[in-house]
Amino acid sequence: MLNSTQVSYFTLGAYFDTKQVKYVLFLILLCLYVLIVGSNVLLIMVICVKRSLHEPMYMFLCSLFVNELYGSTGLFPFLLVQILSDVHIISAPLCFLQIFCLYTYAGVEFCNLAVMSYDRYLAICHPLQYHALMSLKKVALFIAAAWITAFLMVVTTTSLSFSLPLCGNFINKVYCNNFSIVKLSCSDTTVNNIYGLIGTALIFVPVGLILYTYMRILKVCFSGSKQTRQKAVSTCTPHLASLVNFSFGICFEVLQSRFNMSSTPGAVKVLLSLYYVTCQPLFNPVMYGVKLSTIRITPWSQVYKIKHLCMQTVFTNICERTGCSQ
């Protein structure tokens, strides 16, 4: 019997021989990763630079974009190395680190979306009390609670899995998955299964909050003015689209991990398992960047003026020291 501390590496069996196509896949994934990093970093910078965006909704968006960078970085560099490698193995510590990153990414995403729905509920249903109910201090507390809650839950999950005695080291995926490691265990996994069910049930807490807030928003929209309905649609559409996209991605991952999908082609299973952590980080900045006009109007003119003023100041200082004419 192999103990988890004695398993030095895991073999990832979902990679298939792509011959020369692997270089094309590498370039596609590299471009996708660069696009994800560039788009999310750009929107984070816009929110930080533009003072008019220093409001609760955009602070939550900033947290969401940081989480997209966190989740995609937990997967893409590893995928890029594995595609070019002929031996698809991963060390045990790195495997559990990847599980921690991907699971916390999913948890923070759901919590962020739940807090954002509550923020929209207050803005639409209680507009006069909005700034009192959603102060910057409360925004910081909500964001911290979303990250800390997800981290604590995943720490428990990975700790329970790490302590399991294992009878093998073969994982039929392209990245590490907690459920796949639990299936390798030689001992009773009742505690892991119970905690997994509890974790799954806890997902319905933010989902329930989202459903409740949107029921209240819809009630206000039906009884409110046309302007209220337009405001609700413009601010809630990106959030709903992001929630649906991420929920579908998580469902794909759960289905292909928990159920027998032997009749499904390997490439399709790989794409389904990667959907939630590849499409969501690209989907969110595109959706919010296009839909939210205040983000879409980037203060490039202000940036240019600041840059021009700085260059002029530097040139003036040089001329004062050297005696040249301006």
What residue ranges define each of the domains in the chain, with the CATH number in brackets?
2-291 (1.20.1070.10)
pLDDT band at 64 (very low <50, low <70, confident <90, very high): very high
Position 231 scores a pLDDT of 72
Phi-psi region of 19 (alpha: psi -120 to 50; beta: other; left: phi over 0): left
Contact between 84 and 22 (Cβ < 8 Å): yes
Q: Which residue has the higher pLDDT, 69 or 241?
A: 69
> Which pair of structure tokens corresponds to residue 302?
């202000």
| In the predicted structure, residue 76 carries a pLDDT above the cut 80 | yes
**Region 297-324 average pLDDT:** 51
**Region 206-226 average pLDDT:** 81
Q: Which residue has the higher pLDDT, 324 or 233?
A: 233
Q: Lowest-pLDDT range, 141-145, 199-203, 297-301, 320-324?
A: 297-301
**Region 141-166 average pLDDT:** 90
